[in-house]
């Protein structure tokens, strides 16, 4: 599990730490910078997974996110400023330092540090005319007089194991202690790189800009493992899964149908074959009638990629060493009850060994999560709520805590969410003091 992300000079943040847990929620006003943490994870994921990254240490534009140029990414827009990421994942800590080479117009990995259980494993740093390489916290040249250094090789930002930058004199060898240190370092690098790739292999991210529904779709024969940044693969994944039988079927349609029933949106969903080449997605109304997805509320088509991504993510996580589901504004075009049910949906994923990061404007979703904490479905330590705001001194992030009874441990900054709570408390007071409230209200209009 990813337990911490620290950003330095990345987009909205000059310096910011995010201590993550199982279910993480980011809220804040528009243009407050709350999507920056999500973008950082997106570019690290696409650098790890996309073959197009090649030798590039950071893929700014790919299948998960598009950040433009280095100047667009760096805080303040100055190409000479370094961008840094620090991640704590499992028992590892990774530090990455990126710089921009103006003459070549290239992003370069200026520094790499890997620790395990706070012990240094490898460290690499370079300037324009020199570089340093450390193993176990010691310069490589100090380990033995028969070892010389060369630049390490990376695949993206991950070091290539079994390729330590070491030349050995064939007539003499380092002592046994040094040999064991090098062997152990290589094992750690191999394990870290493999587990990191597995983690991001189960990575799923969904933007708030999701594709519109179509009246008919083609059975193209294509398959997909992810819904795609804009949810463009969700319908294909639904259709392909509905054609499978037995254990091969994930069960998108029945699970989503149950969710639609629970929210009282409809009685369910089905994939209807029109020809051997075409199909449509139908929503079953509460009266049993079937309607093309284009003929029902826009919220259904917009929430489908969210539900498909969550179900697929949970299916993948059980096969790999963890993973991360990132969703932006899942509540678009949904009524309050459905927004709240999305909170339950994400809680269920987090309970089933999945890690979730949600950016939302929905107080209904957040309050439902708080309700599950009060019910004991999740521990308060399993939930992190980050409130991001733009202050006079720069972006500020407040960690809003939930107590065991579901209350928020502090006031929401900037009066962002408390309006619903204020109205609820006012309503409760009014119901217990009905006559007094009515008299006060009548006095307002009295002229005599």
Q: pLDDT tens, 383-408?
A: 999 999 887 777 889 888 888 888 88
- Side-chain-side CA neighbours of residue 354 (13 Å): 27
- The reported pLDDT for the residue numbered 306 is 97
Using a pLDDT cut of 90, give the percent of the chain over it: 51
Kindly indicate the confidence band of residue 447, based on its pLDDT and cuts at 50, 70 and 90. very low
C-alpha span between 346 and 298 (Å, rounded): 21
Residue 272 lies in a domain: yes
Average pLDDT over residues 360-377: 91
Kindly indicate the confidence band of residue 352, based on its pLDDT and cuts at 50, 70 and 90. confident
Does the pLDDT value for residue 32 go beyond 80?
no
Mean pLDDT of the chain: 84
Residue 113 lies in a domain: yes
- The reported pLDDT for the residue numbered 354 is 80
Beta strand 278-284 with 290-292 is: antiparallel
Q: pLDDT tens, 223-244?
A: 888 999 999 999 999 999 998 8
125 shares a domain with 101? yes
152 shares a domain with 42? yes
Domain end point (choices 201, 219, 239): 201
- The reported pLDDT for the residue numbered 138 is 83
Residue 331 lies in a domain: yes
Q: Which residues pair with 158 in a beta bridge?
A: 155
- The reported pLDDT for the residue numbered 329 is 95
Does the pLDDT value for residue 416 go beyond 70?
no
- The reported pLDDT for the residue numbered 439 is 43
Kindly indicate the confidence band of residue 284, based on its pLDDT and cuts at 50, 70 and 90. very high
The two most distant CA atoms of the chain are separated, in Å, by 110
- The reported pLDDT for the residue numbered 310 is 94
Kindly indicate the confidence band of residue 318, based on its pLDDT and cuts at 50, 70 and 90. low
244 shares a domain with 165? no
Does the pLDDT value for residue 27 go beyond 70?
yes
Count structural domains, the chain. Answer: 2
Residue 75 lies in a domain: yes
Residue 189 lies in a domain: yes
Q: Would you say 40 and 85 are in contact if contact means Cβ atoms under 8 Å apart?
A: yes
Distances (CA, A) of 192 to 55, 113, 399: 19, 12, 29
Average pLDDT over residues 426-441: 49
- The distance of Cα 421 from the centroid of its chain, to the nearest Å, equals 28
Kindly indicate the confidence band of residue 4, based on its pLDDT and cuts at 50, 70 and 90. very high
- CB-based burial, 76-100: b 16+ in 10 Å, e otherwise: eeeeebebbbbbbbbebbbbbbbbb
Q: pLDDT tens, 97-156?
A: 999 988 788 898 889 999 999 999 988 888 777 888 888 888 877 776 655 666 777 888
Q: pLDDT tens, 187-222?
A: 899 899 889 988 898 899 999 999 999 999 998 888
Residues whose CB is less than 8 angstroms from the CB of residue 332 and which lie 6 or more positions away in sequence, other chains included: 208, 210, 299, 302, 303
User: Phi first, then psi: what are they for 216, rounded to 5°?
Assistant: -135, 155
> What tokens were used for 418?
């408390």
212 shares a domain with 85? no
Does the pLDDT value for residue 413 go beyond 90?
no
Kindly indicate the confidence band of residue 433, based on its pLDDT and cuts at 50, 70 and 90. low
209 shares a domain with 64? no
Q: pLDDT tens, 55-98?
A: 689 999 999 999 999 999 999 888 889 999 999 999 999 999 99
Does the pLDDT value for residue 436 go beyond 50?
no
240 shares a domain with 119? no
C-alpha span between 250 and 187 (Å, rounded): 36
- The reported pLDDT for the residue numbered 420 is 55
Domain hosting 160: range is 2-201
Kindly indicate the confidence band of residue 325, based on its pLDDT and cuts at 50, 70 and 90. very high
94 shares a domain with 151? yes
Kindly indicate the confidence band of residue 162, based on its pLDDT and cuts at 50, 70 and 90. low
- The distance of Cα 47 from the centroid of its chain, to the nearest Å, equals 15
Average pLDDT over residues 269-284: 93
C-alpha span between 130 and 139 (Å, rounded): 14
CATH code, domain with 352 = 3.40.50.300
Using a pLDDT cut of 70, give the percent of the chain over it: 85
Residue 112 lies in a domain: yes
- The reported pLDDT for the residue numbered 127 is 78
- The reported pLDDT for the residue numbered 59 is 92
- The reported pLDDT for the residue numbered 149 is 62
211 shares a domain with 157? no
C-alpha span between 206 and 210 (Å, rounded): 8
260 shares a domain with 173? no
Indicate the SS3 state at residue 345: helix
> What tokens were used for 204?
């799923």
* Nearest CA-CA partner of 373 in 365, 386, 364, 382: 382
Does the pLDDT value for residue 266 go beyond 80?
yes
264 shares a domain with 193? no
Residue 437 lies in a domain: no
């Amino acid at each position: 599990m990813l337990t911490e992300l620290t950003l330095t000079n990345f987009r909205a943040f000059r310096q910011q730490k995010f201590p993550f847990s199982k279910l993480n929620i980011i809220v804040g006003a528009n243009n407050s910078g709350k999507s920056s943490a999500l973008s950082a994870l997106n570019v690290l994921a696409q650098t790890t997974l996309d073959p197009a990254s090649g030798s590039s240490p950071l893929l700014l534009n790919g299948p998960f996110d598009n950040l433009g140029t280095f100047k667009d990414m760096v805080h303040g827009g100055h190409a000479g400023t370094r961008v840094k990421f620090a991640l704590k994942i499992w028992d590892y800590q990774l530090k990455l330092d990126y710089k921009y080479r103006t003459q070549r117009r290239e992003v370069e990995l200026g520094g790499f540090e890997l620790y395990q259980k706070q012990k240094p494993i490898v460290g690499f740093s370079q300037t324009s005319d020199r570089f340093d390489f450390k193993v176990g916290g010691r310069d490589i040249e100090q380990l033995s007089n028969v070892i010389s250094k060369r630049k390490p090789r990376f695949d993206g930002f991950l070091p290539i194991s079994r390729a330590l930058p070491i030349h050995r004199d064939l007539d003499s060898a380092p002592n046994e202690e040094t040999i064991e240190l090098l062997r152990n370092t290589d094992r750690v690098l191999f394990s870290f790189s493999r587990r990191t790739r597995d983690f991001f292999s189960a990575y799923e991210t969904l933007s708030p800009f999701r594709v519109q529904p179509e009246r008919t779709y083609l059975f193209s024969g294509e398959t997909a493992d992810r819904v795609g940044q804009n949810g463009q693969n969700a319908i294909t994944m639904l259709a392909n899964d509905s054609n499978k039988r037995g254990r091969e079927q994930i069960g998108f349609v029945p699970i989503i149908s149950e969710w639609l029933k629970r929210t009282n949106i409809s009685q369910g969903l089905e994939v209807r074959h029109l020809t051997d080449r075409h199909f449509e997605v139908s929503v079953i109304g509460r009266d049993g009638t079937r309607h093309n997805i284009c003929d029902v509320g826009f919220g259904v088509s917009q929430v489908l990629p969210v539900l498909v991504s969550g179900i697929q993510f949970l299916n993948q996580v059980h096969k790999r060493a963890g993973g991360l589901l990132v969703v932006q504004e899942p509540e678009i075009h949904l009524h309050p009850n459905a927004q709240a049910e999305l909170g339950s949906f994400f809680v269920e994923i987090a309970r089933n060994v999945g890690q979730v990061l949600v950016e939302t404007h929905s107080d209904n979703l957040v309050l439902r999560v708080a309700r599950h904490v009060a019910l004991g479905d999740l521990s308060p330590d399993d939930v992190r709520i980050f409130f991001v705001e733009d202050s006079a001194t720069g972006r500020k992030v407040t960690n809003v805590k939930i107590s065991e009874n579901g209350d928020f441990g502090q006031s929401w900054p900037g009066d962002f969410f408390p309006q619903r709570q204020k109205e609820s408390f006012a309503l409760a007071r009014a119901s217990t003091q009905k006559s007094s409230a009515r008299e006060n209200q009548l006095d307002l209009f009295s002229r005599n």
